[in-house]
Amino acid sequence: MSELGFFGVLAISVIGIFVLIAIFAPIIAPHDPRIGSVLQKLQSPSSEYILGTDEAGRDIFSRLVWGARSALTGSFVVVLLAAIAATILAFTAAWFGGIVDNLISRVMDVLFAFPNMLLAMLAIALFGSSQWIAAIALAIAYTPYSMRVIRSVAIRERRLPYVAASRLQGIRGNVVVVRHMLPNVYPHIINGMTINFGFAMMELSALSFLGMGVQLPNADWGLMVSSGKQSLINGSPMESLAAGTCIVVIVVCFTAVGEKLRDRSLGKVR
């Protein structure tokens, strides 16, 4: 942990706090984030409403707390699915090489031609607006990026003497990959997931902002930035400001941790 430096430890601490907020959202949130009253709309911060209320009279703080669960869960689904798919494809390509490697690489090149947001929008147009549809589409879009990094490291591992020695002992290929190669490549997979997490959150929030992700009255940070636009114009910026700040803080923290982990792993490689 000390190798990450002060800012790395601080970033991990902030991430941990947000994760705890998401886990204990039902306990922390003082009000139902989905229900409001027009009689209480656009209330200023008070003892009852810590950050005030939105245009529908819903408690902004409660929606911010529940929005952490939506934002973190959706982003985690994106990076996890992308990492699993990329790891399977990368090790398959690295182990078999030749035609198999070329075929997988060409398929990944085709996916590279589609911008992440465009692929997500196409999926939403076909299957409807949903955070999970958007998350799956983004996971597919992220797979080529992760696959290339993992494949290059896996090929390097494939050429090391311990792999040839394991094969000479009659150990099956899948056992060599899972028990010996994967643990050595695993840090690079985690690095990629950490860095991609911030990008995934930004893009999921952007889709919710455009009305293509989480739908009202559910709570989500990107959706709160969108629904708070009119209040911002009318002089009540708290909803958009609070949600936008949370997005920025989480993205910066995950990016900082990812960069530290990458520099650490590259240092060991050198």
Please give the average per-residue pLDDT across 109-136, as a whole number: 86
Question: Residue 71 domain-assigned?
Answer: yes
* Position 228 pLDDT exceeds 90: no
Domain span at 184: 2-18+59-269
Question: Residue 188 domain-assigned?
Answer: yes
Q: Give the 3-state secondary structure of residue 59.
A: strand
For residue 267, the model assigns a pLDDT of: 54
CATH code for the domain of 119: 1.10.3720.10
Q: Alpha-carbon dihedral of residues 90, 93, 96, 97, nearest 10 degrees?
A: -130
For residue 3, the model assigns a pLDDT of: 58
**Cα angle at 141 between 136 and 146, to 5 degrees?**
110
* Position 264 pLDDT exceeds 80: no
Q: Which two tokens stand for residue 88?
A: 């399977």
For residue 265, the model assigns a pLDDT of: 62
Question: Residue 228 domain-assigned?
Answer: yes
Please give the average per-residue pLDDT across 206-217, as a whole number: 86
pTM of the model: 0.88
C-alpha–C-alpha distance, residues 186 and 184, integer Å: 6
**Sign (positive or negative) of CA dihedral 166, 171, 177, 183:** negative
Question: Residue 40 domain-assigned?
Answer: no
* Position 268 pLDDT exceeds 70: no
Question: Residue 118 domain-assigned?
Answer: yes
Please give the average per-residue pLDDT across 214-240, as a whole number: 84
Among 70, 92, 193, 207, smallest CA distance to 142 is for 193
Question: Residue 258 domain-assigned?
Answer: yes
Q: How confident is the model at residue 269 (pLDDT cuts 50, 70, 90)?
A: very low
Provide the domain count of the chain: 1
* Position 235 pLDDT exceeds 80: no
Question: Residue 209 domain-assigned?
Answer: yes
Among 21, 17, 119, 137, smallest CA distance to 70 is for 21
Question: Residue 43 domain-assigned?
Answer: no
Which residue reads 């929005």 in tokens? 67
* Position 103 pLDDT exceeds 70: yes
Q: Which residues contact 98 (CB under 8 A, 6 or more apart)?
A: none
For residue 47, the model assigns a pLDDT of: 85
Please give the average per-residue pLDDT across 43-65, as a whole number: 88
Mean pLDDT of the chain: 86
Residues 145-171: tens digit of each pLDDT: 899 989 999 999 888 888 888 877 877
* Position 173 pLDDT exceeds 80: no
* Position 270 pLDDT exceeds 50: no
Please give the average per-residue pLDDT across 173-199, as a whole number: 86
